């Protein structure tokens, strides 16, 4: 075969794709490639992980005795649903807030270390082991609830550690598997599972709680996660070169498209330049606002629906799932969620208006997901894993603050609590949006550029 310089081959790639000569570029394009199959596998792993995380926000409605005195010890209450299948606990709103936000504590710790380690150790083992651990902890959650709220918090923190590992480490997959021109599509496909997971969880959780009892929710989602972790270990390989099922054409296509990045492995991260970079802070504050809003909607939506609309747990699950489903379908925007959550405060107890505002707030929030995921890759592709860990760390801080603060506000003044919570959401979104509009960038920054322009 006649060899060509890299520049000539790159410039003629588009023309080659249009030919019907069976060239590698044509045969491996589209959704029939192995890399798309792996993105779909990662999508379902994210669905499973987020289902394990989201189900507690609705099962909490079934687990907690809403009529018991606040601040009571962690004991079962003599309610009609309080039986072997449905034990009920006297947890105050503040305790519930700590339990709901405890998974974020674990995720917060892992962001930067995992972002660094994922560039050194095999991603296959990191993601698979972390998903398996998260699933096993889900199976243990009902037992932990029987021990006490401290055990539940410890279990959820450990689950956050494992889920944070999956969340950060998976981005490194595409540094070896995704051609640069396909990273946006493959990343969006895999990460859309983060939006679909809560929708699936809330839809199914209400039905399971009503039919089988809330402990079965954790058993079912935990078993599903164990199955998916096994599939991950069997089907995923860290490098296309070692995968037994990849075609020679796809292997050649991926290798040729990534040849320019070969010199970036093992380079030290310019920490000082990263900390001084305004585009990095713009992305970080965007993640902060997204996580602040998402955690409030994610963790407290079932509680809000229960307190305002007074529906049963099955209907609560279906209504809570609708905003997350729309967020998954429309996966760009921080301004519109701020508008819609404030709109909730001026609605009466009407059913349709409340659900419409909640749905639109979550759906429009999904608009900014793809931009925040891809933007670090735009400005610093060489340090994407580390940069993603930093931005997600700052983002998770927003979620941690918002979820904990919401629990404290609800505990102190339940009547006026939702006004304070939603106005804070709007203020954080608008201020972060303004900073992002002024300082964000989409070109590779000077500190992230290769010193050697071409590698032959």
Beta carbons of 385 and 175 less than 8 angstroms apart:
yes
pLDDT of residue 75: 45
Question: ∠ at Cα 26 (24, 28), nearest 5°?
Answer: 65
pLDDT computed for residue 348 by the predictor: 53
Q: What are the tokens at 106?
A: 């674990």
Mean pLDDT across the chain? 77
Q: Cα–Cα distances in Å, from 234 out to 43, 92, 167, 220, 226?
A: 16, 44, 20, 22, 13
Q: Radius of gyration of the chain from Cα atoms?
A: 23
Output the pLDDT for position 31.
66
Burial (CB count <10 Å: 0-12, 13-18, 19+), residue 413: exposed
Structure confidence at residue 418 (pLDDT): 80
Read off the pLDDT of residues 409-446 as tens digits, 9 standing for 90 and up.
Answer: 887 776 678 888 888 888 888 888 889 889 988 888 88
Q: How far apart are CA 104 and CA 153, in angstroms?
A: 11
Six token digits for residue 97: 């807030």
Residues 6 or more apart in contact with residue 425 via CB below 8 angstroms: 292, 293, 296, 337, 338, 341, 402
**What mean pLDDT is predicted for residues 162-169?**
91
Q: What residues have CB less than 8 Å from 87, skipping those under 6 apart?
A: 63, 76, 145, 146
User: What pLDDT, in 10s, does the model give residues 50-109?
Assistant: 999 989 988 988 898 653 444 444 444 434 444 566 788 989 888 888 898 888 888 888
Q: Which residue has better confidence, 233 or 347?
A: 233
Per the structure block, which two tokens stand in for 184?
């946006």
Return the CATH class of domain 34-258+270-448.
mainly alpha
CB half-sphere exposure, 111, CA atoms < 13 A:
17
Q: How many CB atoms are located within 10 Å of the residue 37 CB?
A: 14
Count CB atoms within 10 A of the CB of residue 217: 28
Place of tokens 């490639």: 33
- Per-residue pLDDT at 259 exceeds 80: no
Domain boundaries, the chain: 34-258+270-448
Is 30's pLDDT higher than 60? Answer: no
Q: How far apart are CA 409 and CA 421, in angstroms?
A: 8
């Amino acid at each position: 075969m006649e060899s060509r310089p890299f520049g000539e081959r790159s410039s003629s790639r588009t023309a080659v794709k249009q030919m019907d000569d069976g060239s590698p570029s044509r045969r491996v394009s589209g959704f029939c490639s192995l890399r798309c199959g792996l993105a779909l596998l990662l999508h379902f792993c994210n669905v499973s992980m987020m289902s394990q995380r989201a189900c507690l926000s609705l099962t909490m409605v079934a687990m907690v005795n809403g009529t018991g005195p606040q601040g009571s010890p962690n004991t079962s209450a003599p309610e009609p649903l309080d039986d072997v299948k449905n034990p009920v606990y006297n947890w105050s709103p503040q305790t519930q807030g700590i339990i709901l936000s405890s998974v974020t504590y674990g995720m917060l710790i892992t962001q930067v270390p995992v972002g660094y380690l994922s560039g050194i150790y095999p991603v296959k083992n990191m993601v698979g082991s972390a998903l398996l651990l998260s699933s096993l902890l889900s199976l243990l959650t009902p037992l932990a609830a029987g021990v006490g709220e401290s055990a539940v918090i410890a279990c959820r923190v450990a689950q956050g550690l494992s889920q944070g590992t999956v969340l950060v480490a998976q981005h490194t997959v595409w540094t070896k598997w995704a051609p640069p021109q396909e990273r946006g599509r493959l990343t969006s496909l895999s990460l859309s599972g983060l939006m679909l997971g809560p929708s699936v969880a809330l839809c199914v959780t209400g039905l399971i709680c009503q039919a089988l009892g809330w402990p079965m929710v954790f058993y079912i989602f935990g078993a599903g996660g164990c199955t998916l972790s096994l599939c991950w270990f069997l089907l995923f390989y860290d490098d296309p070169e070692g995968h037994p099922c990849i075609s020679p054409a796809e292997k050649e296509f991926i290798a040729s498209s990534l040849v320019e990045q070969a010199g970036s492995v093992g380079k030290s991260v310019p920490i000082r330049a990263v900390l001084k970079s305004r585009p990095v802070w713009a992305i970080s504050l965007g993640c902060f606002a997204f996580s602040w809003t998402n955690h409030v909607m994610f963790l407290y939506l079932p509680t809000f629906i229960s307190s305002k609309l007074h529906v049963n747990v099955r209907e609560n699950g279906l209504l809570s799932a609708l905003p997350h489903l729309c967020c998954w379908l429309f996966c760009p925007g921080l301004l519109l969620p701020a508008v819609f959550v404030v709109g909730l405060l001026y609605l009466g107890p009407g059913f349709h208006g409340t659900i419409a505002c909640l749905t639109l707030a979550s759906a429009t929030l999904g608009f900014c997901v793809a931009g925040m995921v891809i933007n670090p890759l735009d400005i610093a592709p060489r340090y994407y894993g580390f940069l993603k860990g930093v931005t997600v760390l700052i983002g998770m801080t927003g979620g941690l603050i918002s979820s904990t603060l919401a629990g404290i506000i609800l505990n102190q003044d339940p009547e006026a609590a939702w006004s304070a919570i939603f106005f804070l959401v709007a203020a954080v979104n608008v201020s972060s949006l303004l900073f992002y509009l002024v300082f964000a960038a989409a070109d590779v920054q000077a500190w992230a550029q290769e010193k050697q322009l071409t590698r032959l």
